[in-house]
């Protein structure tokens, strides 16, 4: 990182000539184009930079205030003042509309966190600038960017913040207010969000697949005629179709139905074998089922039950099979169980299926040996090589691999 020029302490003696010259040169730089050409402005700016290097903080601040409203500031002056003390730099960062993306990104890279917070609060920030600001992983800077309604975020930058929100859950509520956030990011962020944020995700991002089902209605017959040989079409149609339960698994299951498997688990306990069987019967992979049943919040269990058409009694049986508390010592309903019931009631079947299938898609179907290796080794730098569900799997499962 380029270090800003070392500026000596404010001198004890106030040189009137120096102060007057600084003001006059700043005035010259501020002249309109009709009075001074670009070359003259540039040369004057170079001389002013040399003087400012030895000037006191107050003198530099006065010059910064004088230059902030200008529509054209010599680049040498911009570079010097933007990297100056925050008290000096803030005049340009907050008021100078002529700063380019190059100016702002260079300042973000070379200056302090305080500078980056001030930049994050500017109006009209582009994707290039916000991506640079958020790349430092500083919670205060990221929060300022997310709260800035006039800043634009790239999907790459946003996904980086979604991943970072695992260690900084307070960022979740700010992320959920961003219009750029897509269901893929919200669904994976669900796993580490708090109860209120989870509720927001389900209300905003649990979308219907009705339009996809309408346009693909005749494609199911085509795929059946081809005996489902095309794995790409089969995988997509499995996401779109209305039926959630796995009929082939039901035909082979010793329990005969998903309800009977849950009833057996409620009676004998939810062991690994019956948990895997419940996952298969529900039309998800055991890895997805384990993630859902192991979640301490309980909301994923409600989504699983609603998506598969299970009744409230089945939900209660599954909750009891997990040996989860239903009441507190005071006799009141346990908060986790209450949230689970509310989630079950608030979601329509189709929307619950969308969430469940995206989880299954990203947590299991998207996994390949290369992706598993990337998760274990932490290859975040190569994340652009992976699809949206693969990136979701990397984020959701990273904690399972000790990251």
The pLDDT, as a whole number, for residue 2 is 47
With cut-offs at 50, 70 and 90, classify the pLDDT of residue 125: very high
Closest by CA position to 360, among listed 199, 246, 250:
246
C-alpha 84/C-alpha 114 separation (Å) is 11
The predicted model gives 282-304 an average pLDDT of: 92
Q: Return all residues near 250 (Cβ < 8 A) that are at least 6 apart.
A: 256, 257, 258, 281
Strands (E), 63-196: none
C-alpha 278/C-alpha 232 separation (Å) is 26
Closest by CA position to 314, among listed 263, 377, 252:
263
The pLDDT, as a whole number, for residue 391 is 53
The pLDDT, as a whole number, for residue 19 is 80
CA 222, chain centre distance (Å): 38
CA 347, chain centre distance (Å): 24
C-alpha 2/C-alpha 21 separation (Å) is 29
**pLDDT above 80: residue 7:** no
User: H helices of 135-194, where?
Assistant: 139-147, 155-164, 171-175, 183-189
**pLDDT above 50: residue 370:** no
Token pair of 111 as six digits: 């200056």
The pLDDT, as a whole number, for residue 28 is 78
The pLDDT, as a whole number, for residue 9 is 47
**pLDDT above 90: residue 53:** no
With cut-offs at 50, 70 and 90, classify the pLDDT of residue 14: low
The predicted model gives 182-211 an average pLDDT of: 92
Closest by CA position to 65, among listed 32, 30, 34:
30
The predicted model gives 244-271 an average pLDDT of: 92
**Which has the higher per-residue pLDDT, 305 or 286?**
305
Phi, then psi, of 325 in degrees rounded to 5: -70, 145
With cut-offs at 50, 70 and 90, classify the pLDDT of residue 118: very high
Q: Render pLDDT for 214-244 as a digit per residue (tens, 0 to 9).
A: 999 999 999 999 999 998 898 889 889 999 9
pTM attached to this predicted model: 0.77
With cut-offs at 50, 70 and 90, classify the pLDDT of residue 387: low
Average pLDDT of the chain? 85
The predicted model gives 57-79 an average pLDDT of: 88
Token pair of 275 as six digits: 């948990």
The pLDDT, as a whole number, for residue 398 is 53
The pLDDT, as a whole number, for residue 74 is 85
With cut-offs at 50, 70 and 90, classify the pLDDT of residue 48: confident
% of the chain beyond a pLDDT of 90: 56
**pLDDT above 70: residue 378:** no
| Least trusted range by pLDDT, from 116-130, 156-170, 330-344, 380-394 | 380-394
The predicted model gives 347-361 an average pLDDT of: 93
**pLDDT above 90: residue 403:** no
Residue 157 and residue 130 in contact, taking contact as beta carbons nearer than 8 Å: yes
Query: Domain boundaries in the chain?
Result: 1-99, 112-204, 243-362, 366-401
Cα–Cα separations (whole angstroms), residue 106 to 68, 141, 146:
18, 16, 20
The predicted model gives 76-91 an average pLDDT of: 92
Half-sphere exposure of 4 (CA within 13 A, CB side): 24
């Amino acid at each position: 990182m380029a270090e800003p020029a070392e500026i000596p302490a404010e001198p004890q003696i106030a040189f009137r000539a120096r102060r007057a010259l600084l003001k006059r040169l700043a005035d010259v730089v501020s002249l309109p184009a009709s009075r001074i050409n670009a070359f003259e402005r540039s040369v004057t700016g170079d001389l002013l930079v040399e003087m400012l290097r030895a000037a006191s903080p107050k003198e530099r601040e006065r010059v910064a205030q004088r230059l902030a409203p200008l529509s054209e500031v010599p680049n040498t002056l911009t570079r010097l003042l933007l990297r100056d003390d925050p008290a000096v730099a803030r005049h340009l960062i907050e008021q100078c509309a002529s700063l380019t993306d190059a100016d702002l990104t260079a300042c973000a890279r070379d200056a302090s966190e305080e500078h980056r917070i001030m930049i994050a609060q500017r109006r009209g920030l582009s994707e290039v600038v916000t991506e640079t600001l958020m790349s430092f992983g500083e919670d205060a800077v990221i929060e300022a960017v997310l709260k800035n309604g006039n800043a634009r975020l790239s999907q790459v930058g946003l996904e980086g913040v979604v991943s970072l929100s695992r260690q900084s859950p307070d960022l979740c509520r700010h992320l959920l207010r961003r219009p750029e956030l897509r269901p893929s990011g919200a669904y994976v962020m669900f796993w580490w969000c708090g109860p209120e944020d989870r509720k927001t995700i389900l209300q905003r991002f649990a979308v219907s697949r009705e339009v996809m089902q309408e346009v693909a209605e005749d494609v199911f017959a085509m795929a059946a005629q081809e005996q489902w040989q095309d794995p790409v079409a089969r995988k997509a149609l499995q996401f779109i179709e209305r039926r959630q339960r796995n009929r082939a698994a039901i035909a082979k299951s010793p329990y005969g139905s998903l309800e009977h498997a849950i009833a057996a688990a409620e009676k004998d306990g939810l062991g690994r074998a019956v948990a895997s069987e419940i996952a298969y019967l529900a039309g998800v992979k055991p890895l997805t089922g384990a993630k859902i049943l192991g979640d301490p919040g309980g909301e994923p269990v409600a989504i699983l039950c609603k998506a598969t058409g299970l009744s409230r009694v089945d939900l209660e049986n599954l909750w009891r099979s997990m040996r989860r508390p239903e009441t507190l010592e005071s006799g009141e309903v346990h908060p986790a169980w209450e949230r689970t019931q509310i989630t079950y009631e608030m979601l329509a079947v189709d929307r619950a299926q969308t969430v469940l299938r995206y989880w299954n898609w990203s947590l299991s179907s998207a996994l390949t040996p290369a992706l598993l290796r990337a998760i274990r080794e932490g290859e975040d730098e190569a994340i652009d090589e992976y699809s949206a569900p693969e990136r979701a799997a990397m984020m959701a499962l990273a904690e399972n691999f000790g990251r």
